[in-house]
Amino acid sequence: MAAGQGFKTFATGDILTAADTNGYLMSQTVMVFADAAARTTAITSPQQGMVSFLKGTNSMEYYTGSAWTPVDTGSSPLTTKGDLYGYSTTNARVAVGTNGQVLTADSTAAVGVSWATGGGMTSLATGSLSGASVSLTSISSSYNDLVLVIRNFLPATANTSLQATFNSDSGTRYATEVLTQGTVTFTGTSARISQGSSNSVAQGLLVCRVPNYTNTTTWKYINIEGYSNNNTTTTSANTTFWNSIYNQITAISSIQLFPTSGNFTSGTYTLYGVK
Amino acid sequence: MIIIEHNVETGEITERSMTTAEIKNIEELQKQAVLVETEKNTRKATLLDRLGITEEEAALLLG
In chain B, which residue's Cα lies nearest the Cα of A130?
A: B4
Q: What is the mean pLDDT of chain A?
A: 90
pTM of the model: 0.68
Cβ partners under 8 Å of residue A212, min gap 6: A144, A145, A218, A220
Chain B residues in contact with A193 by the CB 8 A cut-off are none
Contacts of residue A272, defined as CB under 8 A and 6 or more positions apart, other chains included, come to: A121, A122, A123, A124, A146, A147, A148, A149
Task: Kindly determine whether residue B32 and residue A189, on different chains, have CB atoms separated by under 8 Å.
Answer: yes
Rounded to the nearest angstrom, the minimum Cα separation between A35 and chain B is 56
pLDDT per residue over B19-57, tens digit each?
999 999 999 999 999 999 899 889 889 999 999 999 888
pLDDT digits (tens, 9 = 90+) for A115-139: 987 778 999 999 999 999 999 999 9
Residue contact A133–B28, C-beta within 8 A: no
Which of B1, B5, B15, B24 best probes binding to A when mutated, by most A CB atoms within 10 angstroms?
A: B5
pLDDT exceeds 70 at position A50: yes
Sequence-separated (6 or more) residues with CB below 8 Å from residue A162: A150, A153, A155, A192, A193, A194, A197, A206, A228, A257, A258, A259, A260
DSSP secondary structure of B2-49? EEEEEETTT--EEEEEPPHHHHHHHHHHHHHHHHHHHHHHHHHHHHHH
**pLDDT per position as a tens digit, A213-270:** 999 999 999 999 999 888 777 778 888 889 999 999 999 999 999 999 999 999 999 9
Mean pLDDT of A1-26: 84
Q: What is the mean predicted confidence (pLDDT) over A1-13?
A: 82
Minimal CA–CA distance to A238: which of A192, A173, A272, A270? A192
